[in-house]
Protein backbone atom coordinates (compact mmCIF):
# COMPACT_ATOMS: atom_id res chain seq x y z
CA UNK A 1 0.00 0.00 0.00
CA UNK A 2 2.68 2.51 1.00
CA UNK A 3 4.71 1.82 -2.14
CA UNK A 4 1.75 2.41 -4.45
CA UNK A 5 0.80 5.52 -2.49
CA UNK A 6 4.41 6.76 -2.81
CA UNK A 7 4.73 6.94 0.97
CA UNK A 8 8.27 5.63 0.78
CA UNK A 9 9.41 6.85 4.18
CA UNK A 10 6.54 4.95 5.79
CA UNK A 11 7.31 1.91 3.65
CA UNK A 12 10.95 1.82 4.77
CA UNK A 13 9.96 2.33 8.42
CA UNK A 14 7.63 -0.66 8.10
CA UNK A 15 10.38 -2.76 6.53
CA UNK A 16 12.74 -1.77 9.35
CA UNK A 17 10.17 -2.80 11.97
CA UNK A 18 9.55 -6.09 10.16
CA UNK A 19 13.30 -6.80 10.01
CA UNK A 20 13.68 -6.10 13.73
CA UNK A 21 10.67 -8.28 14.58
CA UNK A 22 11.80 -11.09 12.27
CA UNK A 23 15.31 -10.98 13.69
CA UNK A 24 14.02 -11.13 17.26
CA UNK A 25 11.85 -14.14 16.41
CA UNK A 26 14.58 -16.04 14.56
CA UNK A 27 17.14 -15.21 17.25
CA UNK A 28 14.75 -16.58 19.86
CA UNK A 29 14.45 -19.78 17.83
CA UNK A 30 18.23 -19.90 17.53
CA UNK A 31 18.73 -19.53 21.29
CA UNK A 32 16.12 -22.17 22.07
CA UNK A 33 17.70 -24.53 19.56
CA UNK A 34 21.21 -23.96 20.87
CA UNK A 35 20.42 -24.28 24.56
CA UNK A 36 17.69 -26.91 24.42
CA UNK A 37 18.75 -29.05 21.47
CA UNK A 38 19.23 -32.17 23.60
CA UNK A 39 15.81 -31.72 25.15
CA UNK A 40 14.19 -31.09 21.77
CA UNK A 41 15.72 -34.20 20.23
CA UNK A 42 14.96 -36.37 23.26
CA UNK A 43 11.25 -35.80 22.60
CA UNK A 44 11.63 -38.01 19.53
CA UNK A 45 14.07 -40.70 20.66
CA UNK A 46 15.46 -42.34 23.78
CA UNK A 47 18.64 -43.50 22.05
CA UNK A 48 21.52 -41.55 23.63
CA UNK A 49 23.82 -41.85 20.61
CA UNK A 50 21.12 -40.68 18.21
CA UNK A 51 20.26 -37.82 20.57
CA UNK A 52 23.89 -36.67 20.60
CA UNK A 53 24.17 -36.81 16.80
CA UNK A 54 20.83 -35.08 16.20
CA UNK A 55 21.45 -32.39 18.83
CA UNK A 56 24.80 -31.61 17.19
CA UNK A 57 23.07 -31.50 13.79
CA UNK A 58 20.46 -29.09 15.15
CA UNK A 59 23.09 -26.78 16.65
CA UNK A 60 25.09 -26.64 13.43
CA UNK A 61 22.11 -26.25 11.11
CA UNK A 62 20.74 -23.22 13.00
CA UNK A 63 24.04 -21.34 13.39
CA UNK A 64 22.96 -18.46 11.15
CA UNK A 65 19.26 -18.69 11.95
CA UNK A 66 19.23 -15.17 13.46
CA UNK A 67 19.79 -13.64 10.00
CA UNK A 68 17.02 -15.66 8.35
CA UNK A 69 14.36 -13.19 9.52
CA UNK A 70 16.05 -10.44 7.51
CA UNK A 71 16.21 -12.61 4.39
CA UNK A 72 12.55 -13.62 4.63
CA UNK A 73 11.36 -10.05 5.25
CA UNK A 74 13.30 -8.72 2.26
CA UNK A 75 11.97 -11.47 0.00
CA UNK A 76 8.41 -10.73 1.12
CA UNK A 77 9.01 -7.00 0.73
CA UNK A 78 9.78 -7.39 -2.96
CA UNK A 79 6.69 -9.51 -3.39
CA UNK A 80 4.57 -6.86 -1.68
CA UNK A 81 5.72 -4.10 -4.04
CA UNK A 82 4.97 -6.18 -7.12
CA UNK A 83 8.49 -7.36 -7.88
CA UNK A 84 7.61 -11.06 -7.99
CA UNK A 85 10.67 -12.15 -9.98
CA UNK A 86 13.03 -10.62 -7.43
CA UNK A 87 11.03 -12.14 -4.58
CA UNK A 88 11.03 -15.61 -6.13
CA UNK A 89 14.75 -15.37 -6.83
CA UNK A 90 15.49 -14.38 -3.22
CA UNK A 91 13.28 -17.19 -1.91
CA UNK A 92 15.05 -19.70 -4.13
CA UNK A 93 18.52 -18.59 -3.02
CA UNK A 94 18.03 -19.93 0.49
CA UNK A 95 16.26 -23.22 -0.25
CA UNK A 96 17.65 -24.12 -3.65
CA UNK A 97 20.28 -21.99 -5.41
CA UNK A 98 22.77 -22.00 -2.51
CA UNK A 99 21.54 -25.01 -0.53
CA UNK A 100 21.84 -27.70 -3.21
CA UNK A 101 25.47 -26.86 -4.12
CA UNK A 102 26.34 -26.63 -0.41
CA UNK A 103 24.83 -30.08 0.19
CA UNK A 104 26.85 -31.46 -2.71
CA UNK A 105 30.16 -29.75 -1.81
CA UNK A 106 30.40 -29.67 1.99
CA UNK A 107 29.83 -33.33 3.04
CA UNK A 108 32.70 -34.75 0.96
CA UNK A 109 35.01 -32.15 2.51
CA UNK A 110 33.71 -32.02 6.11
CA UNK A 111 31.83 -35.30 6.49
CA UNK A 112 28.52 -35.44 8.31
CA UNK A 113 29.04 -32.01 9.86
CA UNK A 114 29.36 -30.65 6.32
CA UNK A 115 25.85 -31.87 5.60
CA UNK A 116 24.54 -30.00 8.63
CA UNK A 117 26.59 -26.91 7.72
CA UNK A 118 24.95 -26.65 4.31
CA UNK A 119 21.95 -24.86 5.81
CA UNK A 120 23.83 -22.06 7.60
CA UNK A 121 26.06 -21.58 4.55
CA UNK A 122 22.95 -21.24 2.41
CA UNK A 123 21.33 -18.94 4.98
CA UNK A 124 24.38 -16.68 5.04
CA UNK A 125 24.74 -16.45 1.28
CA UNK A 126 21.00 -15.90 0.82
CA UNK A 127 21.04 -13.13 3.42
CA UNK A 128 23.98 -11.42 1.75
CA UNK A 129 22.17 -11.65 -1.59
CA UNK A 130 18.96 -10.23 -0.09
CA UNK A 131 20.90 -7.45 1.62
CA UNK A 132 22.69 -6.49 -1.58
CA UNK A 133 19.45 -6.59 -3.58
CA UNK A 134 17.64 -4.44 -1.03
CA UNK A 135 20.58 -2.01 -0.82
CA UNK A 136 20.52 -1.49 -4.58
CA UNK A 137 16.76 -0.89 -4.45
CA UNK A 138 17.10 1.46 -1.46
CA UNK A 139 19.79 3.50 -3.23
CA UNK A 140 17.29 4.44 -5.95
CA UNK A 141 15.51 6.56 -3.34
CA UNK A 142 18.05 9.39 -3.23
CA UNK A 143 15.63 11.68 -1.39
CA UNK A 144 16.04 9.71 1.84
pLDDT tens digits along 62-121: 999 999 999 999 999 999 999 999 999 999 999 999 999 999 999 999 999 999 999 999
Contact 15, 69 (CB under 8 A): no
Measure the CA–CA gap between 134 and 144, rounded to whole angstroms.
15
Residues belonging to the chain:
144
What pTM does this model have? 0.89
Q: CA 23 → CA 3, 5, 42, 67, 113, distances in Å? A: 23, 27, 27, 6, 25
Amino acid sequence: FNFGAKQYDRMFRTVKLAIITGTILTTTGFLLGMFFSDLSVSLFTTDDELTAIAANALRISILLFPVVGFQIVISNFFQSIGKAKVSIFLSLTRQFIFLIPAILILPPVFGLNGAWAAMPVSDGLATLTAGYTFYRFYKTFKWL
